[in-house]
Amino acid sequence: MAQESKVNIQALNDAYLNDSVANKSIKPSQVNEVITDTLDSYLNVVDGGNISKSVTGTPSEISSSDIDLSISNHYYKTITANTTFSLSNIPAANMTFVIKIIQGGAGSFTVTFDKVGYSVKYISLDLDATVGAISELWCRYDSIDNTLYVNTQSGFIAL
């Protein structure tokens, strides 16, 4: 996705969410659901609907740095050091998943992926470096080109 398209999608999404929460047409607790629905809708258009599952359910904590894609498609981790994630149980079909990253310790930590057995394309990987800040990695594994696409959304606040 071109950078300008990413910025336009983000601007529209932010405007919609800010307006919707302010006008109480959605609850703050529904924001993540709206974001993942928007992502899934976009990927369905781009990918012709070949997504194995949408991002739903209770997030699973990443205990080490391995993300087992057979467990869930919604993960979270508080990072207290620079972290390199690896993927296991990569599906045969395309898949979307979200990783919620919380900056712990002194903040300013980074995230990368190990690229073992697949390639990685970072659309954006700019984490909010502030202690306690939340950034979400929106990830799409494409089985056709064996590539993980990663885009970061930051600036979430607790409501």
pLDDT at position 17: 58
Q: For the chain, give the mean pLDDT.
A: 77
Report the Cα 24 to chain-centroid distance in Å: 25
Give the span between the Cα atoms of 84 and 35, in whole angstroms: 25
146: left (phi over 0), alpha (psi -120 to 50) or beta: left
Could you give the count of Cα atoms lying within 13 Å of 158 in the half-sphere of its Cβ?
4
- Dihedral of CA atoms 137, 158, 55, 42 in degrees, nearest 10, equals -70
Looking up tokens 């739903």, which residue turns up? 56
Region 136-144 average pLDDT: 90
pTM metric for this prediction:
0.65
Those residues whose C-beta lies under 8 Å from the C-beta of residue 31, and which sit 6 or more positions away, are 17, 21, 156, 159
- Measured in whole angstroms, how far is the alpha carbon of residue 11 from the centre of its chain? 17
The CA-CA-CA angle for residues 54, 56, 61, to 5°, reads: 120
Given a cut of 90, whether residue 85 has pLDDT beyond it is yes
